[in-house]
Structure 1
Amino acid sequence: MSTSPTEPATFADKAIRYYNSLVSPTNLPVGVEVMNSFQAPDVQRIVGEFYTKFFNDTDPRVFLLGINPGRFGAGVTGISFTTPQNLRRYCGIDNTLRDTPELSSRFIYQVVDAFGGAEAFYERFFLTSLFPLALTKDGKNYNFYDDRATTNALWPAITEAVRTQLSFGANRHVAVCLGRKNETYLRRLNDQQGFFERIVTLDHPRYILQYKAKDVPLYLEKYIATLQDCLDEV
């Protein structure tokens, strides 16, 4: 949704413009590949509808930052931690994309549901990643930190990606890091750039469902309590 020349650009305006113009890096090590779903017309429609529905204002959000998208979540839909089926079920956005399995999305939308639903959640928070495009190697999900050459190749792009996403409308007082290993890199980035005053870290959704499934209720409580503490702080 566009604004008139006299109106400030909304969070949605900035996000839609950014994601639909993303270009894949060309400097990655041999064997590491990029999925850029944002070039697909179906995904561009989804991105436009999602951000217009939930972010059509200029209010700042608390950022929750993951690693980089998985090939079955944002790698398909363009929406962080969101599979096609969760896009329909929780966000009310119809799509004809094939349903995909992703543990991270399953847990995240338990959090969204526990927080009061997508509208209540996205009114206060923004889910994103340090690097906005899905990476794969040998047909499997790959993280930007899985080898040093990939990390070094992407570090300038990661820095610029976070900087640009903050311009959508970020609350700089606190950010939530998703993933203990991811914390190392977000803190390094923050030490270099001073993006946030404080960072709090939660266990990654995939780790929770893959290794701590019996403790999901406890992790949900931890997530909700942490998110509420962030809101109380800002």
Structure 2
Amino acid sequence: MTTFADKAIPYYNTLKAPTHLPTGVGVMNPYEQSEVQDIVSQFYTKFYCDHTPRVFVLGINPGRFGAGVTGISFTTPQNLRRYCGIENNLRDTPELSSRFIYQIVEAFGGAEAFYGRFFLSSLFPLALTKNGKNYNFYDDRITTESLWPAITETVRAQLAFGSDRRVAVCLGRKNETYLRRLNDQQGFFERIVTLDHPRYILQYRSKDIDAYADRYITTLADCLVD
């Protein structure tokens, strides 16, 4: 019987970028790089080499300094080393979301404990850019609609890794609109709970970070209750 890792590794390491994007919207595909392919193999072999269904925690699309570099959701090169124990030669990058997420990971007992129950991913698996900055798939209607088939297939394919479909955690209030639309169309999850996006918290609510962290921890823990 194939494990979560057996399915995830070839999925990521053969990902292809879409070829029909609106003018000015770029896409980053780190999975074409041999070092990232090795990181993906190490990460999923270390944390997902089993058959335990995970609760999916879904962001928007990766940032250019997190998974856009490492191929691991919400994870910078330095956090990959520090928290996941995976050495790499990638250049350290600034990423607010990663800093917050690994505060939550540590609160759950570290990477092994956290990833043993949760799967961090995004509705669209590759980083998008415009004018050299992060871009979200929902930032304009044409981009949203052009990527909607890929978004649908992304979530469908990843569910096959090994998912707990009773609940999905959505990161981002605006992102919730699109995940609910997708779920209404496809019936992927029984219910969806939403948390504020880590980037929003760090940029605009940093004074309340402890309260937001508590909300994350409580919400995620509730998702594990049978």
Task: State the TM-score, normalizing by the size of structure 1.
Answer: 0.96
The secondary structure found in structure 2 opposite 1:33 is strand
Of 29, 33, 38, the residue aligned with 2:26 is 33
1:138 aligns with 2:138: no
Counterpart residue type for residue 199 of structure 1? I
1:205 aligns with 2:201: no
Give deviations 1:77-103, integer Å, cap 9, x for gaps. Answer: 000000000000000000010000000
In structure 1, C-alpha distance between the alignment counterparts of 2:26 and 2:209, rounded to whole Å: 32
In structure 1, C-alpha distance between the alignment counterparts of 2:14 and 2:110, rounded to whole Å: 29
Counterpart residue type for residue 13 of structure 2? N
Q: Please name the residue that 2:97 is paired with.
A: 104
Aligned residue runs from structure 1 range 158-197, under 5 A: 158-197=151-190
Shift of 1:230: 0.4
In structure 2, C-alpha distance between the alignment counterparts of 1:141 and 1:112, rounded to whole Å: 24
Q: Please name the residue that 2:49 is paired with.
A: 56
1:86 aligns with 2:79: yes
The secondary structure found in structure 2 opposite 1:79 is coil
Shift of 1:115: 1.1
Shift of 1:147: 0.4
Shift of 1:13: 0.8
In structure 2, C-alpha distance between the alignment counterparts of 1:162 and 1:181, rounded to whole Å: 18
Q: Please name the residue that 1:5 is paired with.
A: none
Aligned residue runs from structure 1 range 212-223, under 5 A: 212-223=205-216
The secondary structure found in structure 2 opposite 1:96 is coil
Counterpart residue type for residue 106 of structure 1? R
Counterpart residue type for residue 60 of structure 1? P
How many residues are aligned here?
A: 226
Shift of 1:190: 0.1
Shift of 1:9: 1.0
In structure 1, C-alpha distance between the alignment counterparts of 2:108 and 2:50, rounded to whole Å: 20
Shift of 1:157: 0.3
Give deviations 1:132-177, integer Å, cap 9, x for gaps. Answer: 0000001100000000000000000000000000000000000000
Gaps of 5+ in 2: none
Q: Please name the residue that 1:71 is paired with.
A: 64
Of 212, 217, 221, the residue aligned with 1:228 is 221
In structure 1, C-alpha distance between the alignment counterparts of 2:3 and 2:32, rounded to whole Å: 22
In structure 2, C-alpha distance between the alignment counterparts of 1:220 and 1:149, rounded to whole Å: 34
Aligned residue runs from structure 1 range 106-125, under 5 A: 106-125=99-118
Q: CA RMSD in A?
A: 0.4
Counterpart residue type for residue 213 of structure 2? L
The secondary structure found in structure 2 opposite 1:57 is coil
Q: Please name the residue that 2:5 is paired with.
A: 12
In structure 1, C-alpha distance between the alignment counterparts of 2:176 and 2:69, rounded to whole Å: 25
Gaps of 5+ in 1: 1-7
Task: State the TM-score, normalizing by the size of structure 2.
Answer: 0.99
